[in-house]
């Protein structure tokens, strides 16, 4: 198999890996914000349930969570899981990363001095205005490096979709490597992950500079 043919064969897998990455970001980041607010709720039962969810998501392997999301509905409810594979992958990734983003957001929120809230109240801002106009911009600036690290990890973690026999790029690379007895597919896969993470780091660096309002 020529290099161009090998690259073409892996192209569909690259697109699937990108789809997992993009959709996970779209779902997990807003969900993480919701989880963060639940984690900071004044109701004890809500806080404790949210803490248990975060502990489970962060304390168990993502690979195991993917298997549970996929096979759980079948074993527990007898659900027909044909055609459910990609949905299970998105649920597994989104729920897992939402927990990590929630803790990153919470850490950012706790860096904001109480005086910021008091000053906003004196100026006549309500809670929603205070959050979006005063607190959120400062939180985003504080958490961007941590968010960048999580996004870079997500790029690499997309390879775990092979656990559910989903033909993303890494799975296809393994198949071609086995059939052709060639190491080249792994090299191509490595270049893809490196290039994707370099692009993520570049974009996040530009965003950080945009938030560098002190300059």
DSSP symbols for 121-151: HHTT--HHHHIIIIIHHHHHHHHHHHHHHHH
Of the segments 5-14, 119-128, 156-165, which one has the largest average pLDDT value? 156-165
Has this prediction a pTM greater than 0.75?
Answer: yes
- Judge whether residue 215 has pLDDT over 70: no
Tell me the pLDDT tens digit for each residue of 69-101: 999 888 888 877 788 899 999 999 999 999 999
Band (pLDDT 50/70/90 cuts) for residue 128 is confident
Residues 166, 12: Cα–Cα separation, whole Å? 12
Q: How far is the C-alpha of 43 from the C-alpha of 105, rounded, in Å?
A: 19
- 46 pLDDT above the threshold of 90: yes
Q: How far is CA 15 from CA 27, 93, 136, 154, 184, in A?
A: 18, 17, 33, 15, 19
- Judged against a pLDDT cut of 80, whether residue 1 lies above it is answered with no
pLDDT at site 27: 96
Q: State phi, psi for 171 to the nearest 5 degrees.
A: -60, -45
Report all structural domains of the chain as residue ranges with CATH numbers, in order of start.
Answer: 3-210 (1.10.3720.10)
Amino acid 212: pLDDT:
73
């Amino acid at each position: 198999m020529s290099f161009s043919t090998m690259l073409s064969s892996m192209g569909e897998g690259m697109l699937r890996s990108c789809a997992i990455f993009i959709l996970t970001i779209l779902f997990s980041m807003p969900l993480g914000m919701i989880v963060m607010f639940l984690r900071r709720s004044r109701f004890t039962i809500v806080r404790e349930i949210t803490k248990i969810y975060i502990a489970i998501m962060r304390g168990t392997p993502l690979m195991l969570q993917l298997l549970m999301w996929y096979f759980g509905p079948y074993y527990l409810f007898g659900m027909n899981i044909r055609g459910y594979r990609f949905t299970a992958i998105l649920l597994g990734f989104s729920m897992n990363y939402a927990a990590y983003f929630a803790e990153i957001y919470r850490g950012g929120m706790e860096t904001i001095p109480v005086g910021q809230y008091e000053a906003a109240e004196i100026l006549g801002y309500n809670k929603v205005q205070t959050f979006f106009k005063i607190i959120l911009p400062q939180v985003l600036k504080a958490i961007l490096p941590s968010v960048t690290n999580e996004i870079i990890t997500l790029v690499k973690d997309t390879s775990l979709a092979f656990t559910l026999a989903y033909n993303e790029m890494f799975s296809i690379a393994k198949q071609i490597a086995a059939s052709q007895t060639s190491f080249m597919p792994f090299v191509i896969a490595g270049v893809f992950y490196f290039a994707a993470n370099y692009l993520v780091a570049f974009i996040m660096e530009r965003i950080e500079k945009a938030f560098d309002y002190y300059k």
